[in-house]
Structure 1
Amino acid sequence: MSWPNPFITQRADPFILRHDNGYYFIASVPEYDRLEIRYATTLNGLPAAPAVTVWRKPESGPCSALIWAPELHHINGQWVIYFAAAPTRAIKDGLFQHRMYALVCEDADPLRGHWQPCRRVYSHLDSFSLDATHFVHQGRNWYLWAQKDPAIPGNSNLYLAELLNPWTLKNNPVMLSRPEYEWECAGFSVNEGPAVIRHGDRLFVTYSASATDENYCLGILSIDAQADPMDSSAWQKSARPVFSSSWDNHQYGPGHNSFTQDEQGEDVLVYHARNYTEIEGDPLWDPNRHTRLKHFAWRKDGTPDFGVPPADHTSVP
């Protein structure tokens, strides 16, 4: 199976959930003002599926600006959207003022159900935090996100904790990774946008690093599936990026990925990238980080091989 590239235009931080007999799509919109979900019975149906707005930011308050990087999860029978939001667009101490939030819907259909008022997800620090994801591992619900520690140089590190419920952490988190390599610190020192996939006897976490221009790229962490995820020493980190810009294919800043599977059960990398580097004005308001899809393979040693971002094409053979 192949897809047009871009898959969906002007949707950054894409997340696709395969659930029951269909696919749900959610991402950051260029206006950063709402949460919208698309549903289709096939992956190829998502671009033409109507985008249903399920929540819109209030005019004021702690979650009234810069709605970023939503993810849709189904946790213990409840639909949950994780997202980050700020009280204003102001930058303080070099960072935006995002915190993490959860929306919950107990109805069967998340596009038409009632979403409860958003709840803040509190972590161990009251600081810039975003890009939360959820996964089930060893029979437990886990929460993985990016956050600034004022005691550590850089913008954000990756943290993991078990969930008591979809909006409450059960324990103190452990830091899995911080920006340390040159490719993680180009423009800004960033580890963010984590995504989780299991293959064989290992659990993998991909994450995005550096500034959100052509330097943006994916790194990867891994751990033995039987090991304790809260043991930071059990995690291994690649010293090199695993998915980065392709100047030959004019694909720049691939990152903020998620994982899904196609209808045949083949693994699919979901990510965004631009097809140019010359950004006019603030990159934050450049809308052309498009959603893209790519099959990937697994090496004999059990690690993923993401290859390189393929060039734009509109026709699918």
Structure 2
Amino acid sequence: MNLKKYATLLLAASLTLSGFCGCAATKADSQQLPLKTAVYSNLTDEESRSLLRQGLSDAGVKENRIDTLFAKVDAFRADVKSEWLTKGFESAAPTETKYDPYEMQDAWMKKNGSFPGYNCRITAFSLFGDFVTVGANQPNTQGEDALFLDLETLSADSSVLCGDSTAKFCALFAPVNAANSTDVTEQVKALQAGWRERGISFTDDKARLISVVLHDKFSDTDNTLFIGHVGILLPAENGELYFIEKVAFQEPYRLVKLKNRTELSDYLMEKYDVAWEQDTTRPFIMENDNLLEGYRQNPLAQPTE
């Protein structure tokens, strides 16, 4: 396959933005001002690396999982230009980057060929696997149409799951049947029901799985919810929050500093809640298996009347 075409496919698949939109009834918005800039690091400096390692350890993440993350961070860093990454914590709009994603993908693929890399779902699961359980007798794979690139990576490097199975990974991330609705509350119930059928449960730990859920509806029988982006939320000693994510297959790791969950919602919705007036539910955010407290639709880009 032509490398440029393959890179374009990877970018589109990693963002998974096809299911945006529709009107959704949500909790009343906070009076908090919208987040316009975020403080983040690409984990190239000792301060951010130390903060993340300590935060993960304090949250009960096992050392082998933490070491696996930093090995992947360092490998990615070695494959791209240093000027594309932060030198420490920097401030930028949620959608702003120091790199062109296609140029970064080209540079990465020159060294890695057709290997897809590690995305948000693989990264989050490699850290969070001990805090989620699934029911017995799950199929070895499911949701292949949505997870085909994830599965390609896991076929090449199953060690990144840190002892967990591909069956467990797919049970968590494969699409579930959506409600015939554009209401967030109804879709949260549908997602919870789909997870219950797979026996998915979360332990009550400091580390929390933060999932941006997208709604795809191509027909009455092809109507699903899918986790298009995911990361891990960690408490900071000063009462603030850290959010660790892999932006995309061939885009960097990010550690984001946030004051509260509404800032987290704004950060994610500015990137993913970008279209309206369709017959699907607008993206929503789950914290483990419940709607994120402080969730609100994108406050910076509401459609004009």
Question: Does 1 or 2 have the higher relative contact order (CA < 8 Å, sep 6+)?
Answer: 2
Considering fraction of residues, name the structure with more strand.
1
TM-score (norm 2): 0.32
